[in-house]
Structure 1
């Protein structure tokens, strides 16, 4: 009988959260094995040539404001392992239907001047908000990326803001982006920056908590920009893998995990698609969506009935269609600000974004799609040959629809029409394109179920203590020594490594307990949460 592979910790999935978890455990001296289903590591942080030779296209995510600001990544020191951040001349341009532009820049004066052009006084409002951001940045990012509840971080926020201002900040965090913009800005520029950035999630302008997401991303853009890894998103993955390897950890690709193995109510290992077993001496950490972990890899017969019922109500975010282009030259934008921006928003004013979101909620394909686009060579010249541009755009569509090749082609044509309106001659520059529908994204990365890029809605009913199900908000599961380490756990989507770090810290804390104290506590928590 062959020897069974053994490690202190088995990590399922090599997305950024899985690799962060693996690194933290390796730092603690644990032996760590990461099992990845795909042929290469990285999850949704990968790069390939899918359009034309010499054009490096990010297959999924591309810009990383939360990654650049993440305390988790900062502690890992990835720059020492090959990571270099690159920036476009300007951060983000929201192009209105009439070609006006609201510009977000790392230069505070430039952003304020852009907003001032929409309404006198709006530039000063922006400066005041950024000053507040600078005061609370560190405790707020600690709260966003740390375990829930963020007790220590909240103490820091209370110190900086005081009780009265903190109460108003919490109120702000609940507001829709439209309402927040109306309270702060007289002109359309500031309002659209908040609403457009909120739509990096699946929250439209009129959904609760959208204002907080919009505020957070715009403040990050003003602070650290929307940077990209030099050479491609996959270079961030390369740095995480290199750091892990230097500490003795291993990543094995082409080994899809099909079962979490249990013994005496605890996770004791996994079985992969080849039938090979790996014994986990201390922990199993899963960088996969919670419904897949619980229902497919564990099995509902091992779970509390209420948890199974809650998982049946798990709310995914919208499906996604993405188009990548190899362009013969820079995009000929009519608005000069758009030519300098790495990230672009197109497809509507505030009401237009609301209409887009309403269409999605009603299961309709938006006639005027909201586009989130990236000019990658403008941001990082290493992405394509000199004088060319590597560009992408994505848009959301309702879940659960069939997308034939012809239907995808027509949707990609519609996306190009939106860009062509603001950049006449754009389509003449296209030398190659690659169109990825929801099923294509899922085929490349099984975690992107039906093209859902955030592993669950960002809506308030599935955040904090409700993520991924009511009573959660922590990496621990009803199974001892099994931890949720992916984006369907708190704090959710985006590339910041926080969910993986939280899972690793939970595993380390569990390992310090002796006797049955931890198990008894976990059973008590499960009884309270699941009945």
Structure 2
């Protein structure tokens, strides 16, 4: 009977387990897949000489995350590597906007390619980051409301700056680019970063998200684990095992056992029951936890209605390549970037986002390309490149704007046609690219979900990043905290605030909530009160 059971060995679950074990709790992690890691895994499945990340690759949020920093994973074998350039966005006219570690290099490149006025505007955006760092990240990663970091940020800003800064945080990235820049380069850097989520260039808050990712690139880079993303997972597992925690794979949890409104443990698919003395933490999608692992009879009735409204982010379609040589970019500076964004201009990015949001598969998909050997030389033999590309596609395809009549069944024909379309997009900016492909692997949305069930429909972020499903609205209108309507049960996945990304904050918040519930005053008053609040906010009275 461990003190805590963690369902799921993704990064959030492993961070949570480490923090609980640090506090002296006995922790068991149960994972349905044959290997731990969730969406942080790599393999040699395409070519034995090449390492490919199955899902995520670049980890600025992990590098900047206080939750992961406290674990000191470098002592457990994790090493980071950086590409010479963080990010590149080539333009059709041959110019290329590039993002670099350190603000000076980015500013100088923008001045050389796009003019002094845009370089000065970028410098102003960098100065705002300096004013808010590190309190902005702390406010994003802590449970809602983030009172201390918000107060610290307010103290950093002059009174006259508070409202302009608040306005800045709401701007669509298209509007931000229009207000700040005269040439397209800097705006495309920000817009491409925003499109890592499902936020269109016209969406409120997309400017702040793009700016956040770009500033992280300047501050900590977009690093990769040396040897593959699995090495980040391996470090988390090794650390956990070194302090007494255990990870059990091929252990699918079928039910959270609830009695009297409390989580007592779990039942696995083989019929085995595990009792949890203190807490159950679920690193699973909210739609899996509520109504599947926990039967609706134990939950407030309005929660069922709210979960029907839960909105997933876009699906993802990914292709891995083993390349015989470096990609022949028309813009030479793109060759040094770990990540390359492929989209001609802001209008093409907006068209793409609108088409995906309305269920149409774009003819010219915006693509994110990773040059992994450029970022980490251990990923493939000298002179070759381990690379991938992905794009977002609709969860349900209503029509194909290309010529391939793709319907979303994602059979062999449709998957091959979509992979060809992405390769054609690369060819627009790197003629001759396809001649370098020795082999490729296609990961369509159903394949991604089969490999990690939290990626529902191939969605990477645990639900939309739009404001209507963030903060106190994630995963449903509530408190914006990891407590659930069931006492001693905590939501520890990206379905909880603060959402997607490999930062471990969702797991850390759940672990700290569980620990807090067993302190004398908090355990008697605060923790039951927060569970009761979740029930009230879901339209169900507290238990008597």
Instruction: Give 3-state SS (helix, strand or coil) of 2:391's partner.
Output: strand
**Could you tell me the TM-score, scaled by structure 2's length?**
0.95
Shift in alpha-carbon separation, 1:403–1:164, aligned structure 2, 3 A: same
Match of 2:466 among 440, 459, 465: 459
Are the counterparts in 1 of residues 479 and 534 from structure 2 also a CA contact under 8 Å? no
The unaligned stretches of length 5 or more in structure 1 are 1-5
Task: Provide the rounded CA distance (Å) in 1 between the counterparts of 2:503 and 2:409.
Answer: 32
Pair 1:526 & 2:544 matched: no
Instruction: Give 3-state SS (helix, strand or coil) of 1:155's partner.
Output: helix
Are the counterparts in 1 of residues 484 and 531 from structure 2 also a CA contact under 8 Å? no
Pair 1:64 & 2:71 matched: no
Are the counterparts in 1 of residues 517 and 527 from structure 2 also a CA contact under 8 Å? no
1:90-489 superposed matches below 5 A: 90-116=85-111, 117-400=113-396, 401-489=408-496
Task: Provide the rounded CA distance (Å) in 1 between the counterparts of 2:534 and 2:137.
Answer: 29
Shift in alpha-carbon separation, 1:523–1:497, aligned structure 2, 3 A: closer
Task: Provide the rounded CA distance (Å) in 1 between the counterparts of 2:250 and 2:101.
Answer: 41
Are the counterparts in 1 of residues 8 and 284 from structure 2 also a CA contact under 8 Å? yes
Are the counterparts in 2 of residues 332 and 423 from structure 1 also a CA contact under 8 Å? yes
Task: Provide the rounded CA distance (Å) in 2 between the counterparts of 1:301 and 1:14.
Answer: 27
Q: Deviations over 1:22-51 (max 9, x none)?
A: 000000000000000000100000001121
- How far 1:325 moved relative to its partner? 0.2
Which piece of structure 1 moves more, 116-125 or 136-145?
116-125
Task: Provide the rounded CA distance (Å) in 2 between the counterparts of 1:496 and 1:344.
Answer: 22
- How far 1:519 moved relative to its partner? 5.9
Are the counterparts in 1 of residues 516 and 527 from structure 2 also a CA contact under 8 Å? no
Q: Deviations over 1:477-528 (max 9, x none)?
A: 0000000000010000010000000000000011114675346523541353
Task: Provide the rounded CA distance (Å) in 2 between the counterparts of 1:277 and 1:164.
Answer: 59
Shift in alpha-carbon separation, 1:483–1:527, aligned structure 2, 3 A: closer
- How far 1:204 moved relative to its partner? 1.1
**Could you tell me the TM-score, scaled by structure 1's length?**
0.97
Task: Provide the rounded CA distance (Å) in 2 between the counterparts of 1:442 and 1:93.
Answer: 29
Are the counterparts in 2 of residues 348 and 368 from structure 1 also a CA contact under 8 Å? no
Q: Deviations over 1:406-442 (max 9, x none)?
A: 1110110111111112212211111110001000000
Q: Which residue of 2 aligns with 1:495?
A: 502
Task: Provide the rounded CA distance (Å) in 1 between the counterparts of 2:250 and 2:270.
Answer: 10
Are the counterparts in 1 of residues 287 and 307 from structure 2 also a CA contact under 8 Å? yes
Task: Provide the rounded CA distance (Å) in 1 between the counterparts of 2:293 and 2:344.
Answer: 42
- How far 1:173 moved relative to its partner? 1.3
Instruction: Give 3-state SS (helix, strand or coil) of 1:7's partner.
Output: coil
Q: Which residue of 1 aligns with 2:542?
A: none
Task: Provide the rounded CA distance (Å) in 1 between the counterparts of 2:304 and 2:136.
Answer: 33
Instruction: Give 3-state SS (helix, strand or coil) of 1:207's partner.
Output: coil
Are the counterparts in 1 of residues 281 and 491 from structure 2 also a CA contact under 8 Å? yes
Q: Deviations over 1:225-276 (max 9, x none)?
A: 1110000011000110011011000000000111000122100000111111
Which piece of structure 1 moves more, 511-520 or 107-116?
511-520
1:24-35 superposed matches below 5 A: 24-35=19-30
Instruction: Give 3-state SS (helix, strand or coil) of 2:344's partner.
Output: coil
Task: Provide the rounded CA distance (Å) in 1 between the counterparts of 2:280 and 2:357.
Answer: 36
Which piece of structure 1 moves more, 162-171 or 334-343?
162-171
Are the counterparts in 1 of residues 12 and 504 from structure 2 also a CA contact under 8 Å? yes
Q: Deviations over 1:68-105 (max 9, x none)?
A: 11111111111111111100010000122333211111
Alpha-carbon RMSD: 1.3
Q: Deviations over 1:439-459 (max 9, x none)?
A: 000001111001000010000
Task: Provide the rounded CA distance (Å) in 2 between the counterparts of 1:163 and 1:20.
Answer: 38
The unaligned stretches of length 5 or more in structure 2 are 397-407, 540-544
Are the counterparts in 1 of residues 485 and 535 from structure 2 also a CA contact under 8 Å? no
Which piece of structure 1 moves more, 247-256 or 518-527?
518-527
Task: Provide the rounded CA distance (Å) in 2 between the counterparts of 1:183 and 1:257.
Answer: 51
Q: Deviations over 1:308-330 (max 9, x none)?
A: 10000000000110000000111
